[in-house]
Amino acid sequence: MVDRKARNCLAELIRRYLDEEIKSFDFDDALDKFRGSEDYAVQFVSDALWYHYDDCDDHFVVLSKPEWNYFQRLLLLLESDSSVRFTQSRHWTYFQLLAAILLLLCIGIAAKTGFGYHLLVFFIPFGIGSIAISHLRRPAEDFGPYDAIITPFESLSDLRAVYENTRFRKVRYPSQLANRTIRSPFMNWFWRVHSYICWAMLAPIPLLFQCFPYTTSSVRISPT
């Protein structure tokens, strides 16, 4: 179904964010009501936006030029009457078995040594294994030569067809965004290291989730 009112409201919200009328916290809060939409296009766009702002630091829009152009294509999708279909597939690999073995070893150490803060140190090698599984278990994506300029559309012809059926006008990338960042390179490094340390010390939790099959999703946009 096409919920024209929801599409228009979400497009207006995105433009307010891009025009720096609101910051990331207000943007994130306003997106909540769109994530449960029965219109799959609205649902897809609201979920896709989550990866392009920070919900820990309140900030004005921070986007690279490719990200800005991606936002423009999402706006194009919302202004069109294109339909969106989702497909999901589950994947079992030997990495699930490896995660299960590491998890059982963690449980065995806890049972033998007792529960206590010492486990945070004992779990570190298994946490490193969990981090390695996270980086290795997904197969490399097969990107086409035009994917960077057409995503989320599947082909140039689909993108062209949607352009021709709307009155959408792309907004050029603002030059002032080129050097804008959310936080300093040092803080980016600090929080990355912090997250890996926590991951390693609490290894049984991510290992438990890694025992289950992971899913991949694909989106098919059909121009109308």
Domain ranges of the chain: 4-90+144-183+215-222
105 token code pair: 């070893």
The model's pLDDT over 155-181, given as tens digits with 9 standing for 90+, comes to 889 899 999 889 899 999 999 999 999
50 token code pair: 């989550």
Task: Indicate the residue type of 155.
Answer: S
CA atoms within 13 A on the CB side of 131: 16
Average pLDDT value for residue range 114-122: 95
How confident is residue 138, by pLDDT bands cut at 50, 70 and 90?
Answer: low
How confident is residue 144, by pLDDT bands cut at 50, 70 and 90?
Answer: low
Mean pLDDT computed over every residue of the chain: 91
The model's pLDDT over 40-75, given as tens digits with 9 standing for 90+, comes to 999 999 999 999 999 889 999 999 999 999 999 999
pTM (2 d.p.)? 0.82
Angle at 183 between CA 180 and CA 186, to 5 degrees: 120
Angle between helices 4-18 and 24-31 (to 10 degrees): 170
Distances (CA, A) of 81 to 133, 146, 169, 200, 220: 41, 23, 16, 46, 14
